[in-house]
Amino acid sequence: MQQDEIAGLRRNYTREKLDIADTEPDPVIQFKKWFEQALKSGIPEPNAMILSTAGTGGQPRGRVVLLKGVDDRGFIFYSNYSSRKGEELQQNPRASLCFNWLELERQVRIDGTAEKVPEDESKAYFDSRPFESRIGALASQQSSVVRDRNQLETTFEQLRKEYEGKNVPKPRDWGGYVVRPSRIEFWQGRPGRMHDRIEYDRSDDGLWQKCRLAP
């Protein structure tokens, strides 16, 4: 593909509009409303989100993870605490999330601070996962260097046989994070790139204030 072909890729967004008067006072409630619509629309994995972190070196890194819950605390996902993202969150707990629902011409951006969820909550979720997912978490030291694919598959198979029909213990360095939001932006694509952007900011007293941003 030539550079001019890439530059020419574009789509005109025409599905919906987003008026600030139609948004909820609480952005978490607004998110749940949009998420429910994304879920009902049949979008593959509507809970997929880009998690961006930056350690003390300041280099941002993004990757796709899956949202596993949202409540009054914030947005919950699970990972290996010793992974690269885990190490960066240990150094700098500030994080950013981004949901991109192209089929609905919508995007949600969330800035906040990540903290670990209680251990019993992590264990309860780990125990609810499919057997092979639990074995995978036990077999993989996420983000560490491995010799080859065969090494991973051999370890996985050994553990699968060892724990067949038994309880799989949650790894000590595996668990959940909750991103407590301080800013949430809802983006709705509009014709002519005149998109709707409604941003919520949490004030020092914990209340949310919202405004419209230029596209």
Structure confidence at residue 7 (pLDDT): 87
Q: How many separate domains does the chain show?
A: 1
Query: DSSP code of 191?
Result: G
Is 193 a known active-site residue? yes
Asked whether residue 96 carries a pLDDT value surpassing 90, the answer given is yes
For 26-82, write each residue's pLDDT tens digit. Answer: 999 999 999 999 999 999 999 999 999 999 999 999 999 999 999 999 999 999 999
Structure confidence at residue 11 (pLDDT): 84
Work out the number of other CB atoms within 10 angstroms of the CB of residue 97. Answer: 23
Structure confidence at residue 158 (pLDDT): 95
**CA 74, CA 202: separation in Å to the nearest integer?**
13
Query: DSSP code of 8?
Result: T
In this structure, what token pair is assigned to residue 208?
A: 């949310």
Residue 80 near residue 25 (C-beta atoms within 8 A)? no
- 58 SS3 class: coil
Instruction: Tell me the average pLDDT across 166-191.
Output: 97
Across the chain, mean pLDDT equals: 95
The CATH code of the domain that includes 42 is 2.30.110.10
CA dihedral 126, 127, 133, 134 (to 10 degrees): 90
- Residue 205, domain member (yes or no): yes
- Residue 162, domain member (yes or no): no
- Residue 1, domain member (yes or no): no
- Residue 75, domain member (yes or no): yes
- Residue 115, domain member (yes or no): yes
Structure confidence at residue 153 (pLDDT): 92
- Residue 23, domain member (yes or no): yes
Domain extent for 191:
10-127+172-213
Residue 68 near residue 48 (C-beta atoms within 8 A)? no
Catalytic residue (choose from 15, 61, 63, 193): 193
- Residue 14, domain member (yes or no): yes
Structure confidence at residue 1 (pLDDT): 65
- Residue 147, domain member (yes or no): no
Percent of the chain with pLDDT over 70: 100
